[in-house]
Amino acid sequence: MRDLLASAKLLLLDMASTFLFVVLLLLTNNIPLSVILGVALGVAQIGWEFARKKPIDTMQWMSIFLVVGSGAATLLTNDPRFVMVKPSLIYAVVGVVMLKPGWINRYLPPLAKAVVPDIAVILGFAWSGLMFISAAVNAIVALNFSMANWASIMLAYGIVSKAALFLIGYGTMRYIGGRRWQAMPIPERDSLTAALPQ
């Protein structure tokens, strides 16, 4: 359970600026305020990592560039349709980045990286597929619904789809990892455990 919570925390932190933007847009219907605060959170997160001298992951860099870039474009155009279609572009770019095998390792405990690295790669591709599907769903909703309906639908879809894939992936890795762990000879388990960072 500790590993699940740690992974969920990292994922939520990486998506925090996007969540903040959508929630503020729903609550205030104020595009500039939502964009500015979403961008500010993304920049603050990267600044915090720099201050702590922590390495910045590829997904974190990509997230901040997309938030700042799309935020600036939104403020310059102040076009609601641009705001609504913009996530489709972001989802597509994120989907392409997630095609890189191993991107998901940031979210995995050391034991999972050692025991189920092949499942992690498959799960990474599943996340990429979800991003491409989300890009299509967002484009359809953005072009056929009002801004308020779009925000509500995409917030619900985003949370449910990502939570479902997260839980399915976690459960699958846990199940397969547990079976592989049990099938390992005890000396191999012991040497693997000793080699893992504590």
Closest by alpha carbon to 122, among 161, 176, 164, 162? 176
Residue-wise pLDDT for 33-43, tens only, equals 887 888 888 88
180 is written with which tokens? 């592989």
Residue pair 18/62 in contact by the 8 Å Cβ criterion: no
Q: For the chain, how many structural domains are there in total?
A: 1
Q: Which residues in the chain belong to E strands, given as ranges? A: none
Q: Give yes or no for residue 5 having a pLDDT over 70.
A: no
Least confident span in 68-77, 103-112, 127-136, 180-189: 68-77
pTM of structure: 0.68
Residue pair 172/110 in contact by the 8 Å Cβ criterion: no
Residue-wise pLDDT for 46-104, tens only, equals 888 889 888 877 667 776 777 777 777 777 877 666 667 777 877 888 888 889 898 88
137-140, Cβ contacts within 8 angstroms, sequence gap of 24 or more: 138/84, 138/85, 138/87, 138/88, 138/91, 139/85, 139/88
Mean pLDDT, rounded, for 148-157: 85
Segments forming the whole domain that contains residue 105: 2-195
Question: What's the rounded Cα separation, in Å, for the pair 74 and 61?
Answer: 20
Question: What's the rounded Cα separation, in Å, for the pair 60 and 162?
Answer: 17
- Tell me what pLDDT residue 129 has: 96
pLDDT exceeding 90 applies to what percent of the chain? 26
- Tell me what pLDDT residue 134 has: 94
47 is written with which tokens? 């600044």
Q: Give yes or no for residue 171 having a pLDDT over 80.
A: yes
Could you give the angle at the alpha carbon of 149 between the alpha carbons of 147 and 150, nearest 5°?
A: 60
Q: Give yes or no for residue 6 having a pLDDT over 70.
A: no
The residue among 4 and 114 whose pLDDT is bigger is 114
76 is written with which tokens? 């310059």
* Integer CA distances (angstroms), 181 to 53, 71, 120, in order: 35, 46, 16
Q: Give yes or no for residue 3 having a pLDDT over 60.
A: no
192 pLDDT band (50/70/90 cuts)?
confident
Mean pLDDT of the chain: 83
